[in-house]
Structure formats: C-alpha cells, structure tokens
Structure 1
Amino acid sequence: MPEKARIRPVDEADLQEKTLASLAPYRDQDGRIYTIWATLAHHEDALRRFLVFGNHVLGKNTLPLKSRELMILRIAARAQAGYEWDQHVRIARSAGLADETILAAATGTWDGLGEFDQVLLGATDSLLDRQSVDDELWCRLEAHLRVEQIIDVLYTVGQYLTIATVINTLGVQVDGEAALPLPQPVDQKEAAA
C-alpha cells in the first residue's frame, strides 16, 4: 500500500447536496465524513449507488453482527488493508468482541471460536482464495445457515474485498492512532517449518 494517499478526500463543501444526504450516516464521532467515503466522493454518482449496497451488507445483513465483523476483519488482515482493519476493530469492539477474538480471526487461529464462526471464516478464506467453496464447505454452510444468509456471506466477502482493494490502491490512510495493530501476514512456508 502507498505510504500516503494517492487521492485526497473531497472537501465536504465541494459535494452535491444529494451526496451529503447519502453520507449523513457515515460520519465519525466528530461529525466528519469517514475518509473512505470522502475519497470515493470523487465519483459521486457511483458512491451513492455503492452506499445502497454497502448499507445492506453493513446494516441489514442477515448474519449475526459479531460473526460478520470477524469475517470483515479476516478480509482486512489478509488484504493488509489498514484503514478497513482499524474501522472494523472499532466496530467489533463496540459489538462486544475481545481483542483476543479479533486477532484469532485475523491470524487464522480459530480453534477457540465456535463452529459457526469457524465455518464462516473458512468460507471467507475459500472465497478469497478461489472465489468459490467446495462441496464439503457448502454442506457445512447449509448446516448452519439459511440460503439468505449464505448469500449474505457472499455479499459480505465481495463488498469488503472491494473496499480493501480500493483502500490499498488509493492509499486511504488510517485516521489518527490505530485502534489495534494490523497483524502482519505469516509466510505459509515459514508456518509449515
């Protein structure tokens, strides 16, 4: 990821009223538009459309909040998307997840997690690696989830992989101090040794 932003966030004063209305729920505790959305506001029409889908994935998803956040944290860690990681560590903590659980999801040390979350994280990895799941994992998903929820698994991974790609390519930077350091990826060859 670039060390500095490749595209600076758009100043709020330069945004159309309809874009400002769409971004009303996407402000931090100080009332500022989140950096990711202010950056994507360079293409206001696309941003407004993307927020509709993002609102489903983040706000109306049929997956339990804590489980969804573990999936997003896994994606952020694997993609090394620091901004995404930081934002969702904060959301996960607000949802009641301990740092130990957050780091377990990020690093792939899932033994202490329940079977439901292990299945979701396994599906997340499979979707990131192969853009699909095999028959065995599909059966495990069906054993734990309704079809609607399986579709939300797919949407969640797709949405947050897209966001990670945007963050890493445009160089969206963490605002201030990181809530929790982003775990560095483990080289699979070193892990096997």
Structure 2
Amino acid sequence: MSSRLPHFSVESASSEQKDVLQAILTGPRGNLNGPFLSWIHSPELASRAQELGAFCRYGTGLSLRLSELAILCTAAKWKSQAEWYIHYPIGIDAGLKADVLEDLRLDRAPKFENSDETLIWRFVEDLYEKKRVSDEIYQEAVTSFGVKTVVNLVGLLGYYTLVAMSLNVFDVRADGQIELPFPDTP
C-alpha cells in the first residue's frame, strides 16, 4: 500500500495504536485495508472513526446493496482510488450492476433498474452537487426509508467522504491495487 505518510510498524506502535488495530481486526471488517493505517497516526481519531465506520457500513438500516451504492457514489465524486477499488466488488456481490457502476465512475447518469437505487443516487447527487437535498427528494427518501434511515444515510455519506478525503490526501492505495479507476491527477 503506497502512502505519503511515514511507514507504520506494529512492532513500534504505541499501546493506543495497538488497541485500535486490535479493535479493527477483531471487528466486522477484519482487515486494515482503507484509511486505517493513515488514521493510526492519530489513535484517538482512528478509534472513533473506525467505530463510526462500522455503524455506517453495517447498521444504517439500508440494505448492503444500497449502502454500497451510496459508498460508490461517494468514491466516484471524490475520485477515491482505494475506496472504489475496495467497494466495487462488494457492490457487485450485493447486486449492483456493472454498467451502472461504470456510469457512476465516468460521472454519467446511470440507468437504474430499481427505484430504490434511483432514489439513493438522486439523494446523493442533490447533496453533493447542491450541498442540500430538495424537499421532493427528501420526502421521497423519508417515505421510502424512514427518518432514522435517512439520518443514517447522511451519516454514511459524511463518513465515506472522510474516508475518501483521507485516502486522497495521504495517497493511499488498497492492498493489491494495481490499476486505478480514476485519472491520478492532483
């Protein structure tokens, strides 16, 4: 994994860093792929962020398919190499269509087969492009998913924006990543 940050070694890690690593490795993720080896340079941030991330990934009330769609929309908006690389196969396994994801990657409006996917995309587009969500889209989301899940969706989008920013700023690539889904320009 490449990075702008200094090399991190478990052998020289502080007790706080080791505690965070253990929590990540024994949690639902089970690996350190992604922003975690960036965040480990600030163990308190790493600890809090990984706990929030576990909730945002697994506890929002959205199906895995819709969560992964929201994550991949975020990765595409931020052109986050590692975030896309890590979540693309998860999204495909969860039922997202490759042609839809290719449209997202290329910043084209996808042609969804499922209305819930269309709604997630419209919500994300509105929020990222206008920095707000229209009353119409908001009401559709609340009607479809409920208030609590819409609140959680906003949290998921905020968390994965933090992930994308971290991966981009620190130039992190995922384990095994060779090809980049987005042009690698500053």
TM-score (norm 2): 0.83
2:11 to 3, 10, 13: 13
Shift in CA distance, 92/39, structure 1 to aligned 2, threshold 3 Å: same
Residue equivalent to 1:60: 59
How far apart are residue 183 of structure 1 and its match?
5.2
Kindly provide the CA deviation profile for residues 71-97 of structure 1, in whole angstroms up to 9, marking residues without a partner as x. Answer: 111110111100100011122133243
Code of the residue aligned with 2:42 in structure 1: it is H
Shift in CA distance, 93/112, structure 1 to aligned 2, threshold 3 Å: closer
Q: Retained in 2: the 8 A contact 1:105–1:121?
A: no
* Gap runs ≥5 in structure 1: 185-193
Residue equivalent to 1:139: 139
* Gap runs ≥5 in structure 2: none
Query: 2:66 and 2:103 mapped to 1: Cα distance?
Result: 13
Q: Which residues of 2 match residues 99-114 of structure 1 at below 5 A?
A: 99-106=98-105, 107-114=107-114
Q: Which residues of 2 match residues 10-49 of structure 1 at below 5 A?
A: 10-15=8-13, 16=15, 17-24=18-25, 25=27, 26-28=29-31, 33-49=32-48
Query: 1:182 and 1:47 mapped to 2: Cα distance?
Result: 26
- Comparing 97-106 with 133-142, greater Cα deviation is found at 97-106
Q: Retained in 2: the 8 A contact 1:82–1:182?
A: yes
Q: Retained in 2: the 8 A contact 1:73–1:89?
A: yes
Residue equivalent to 1:88: 87
Shift in CA distance, 96/112, structure 1 to aligned 2, threshold 3 Å: closer
Code of the residue aligned with 2:71 in structure 1: it is I
How many residue pairs get aligned? The number is 176
What's the Cα RMSD here? 2.1
Q: Retained in 2: the 8 A contact 1:70–1:105?
A: no
Determine helix, strand or coil for the equivalent of 1:42.
coil
Determine helix, strand or coil for the equivalent of 2:110.
coil
How far apart are residue 131 of structure 1 and its match?
2.7
Code of the residue aligned with 2:166 in structure 1: it is V
How far apart are residue 155 of structure 1 and its match?
0.7
Q: Which residues of 2 match residues 67-82 of structure 1 at below 5 A?
A: 67-82=66-81
Q: Retained in 1: the 8 A contact 2:82–2:167?
A: yes
Residue equivalent to 1:157: 157
Query: 1:6 and 1:123 mapped to 2: Cα distance?
Result: 33
How far apart are residue 9 of structure 1 and its match?
4.9
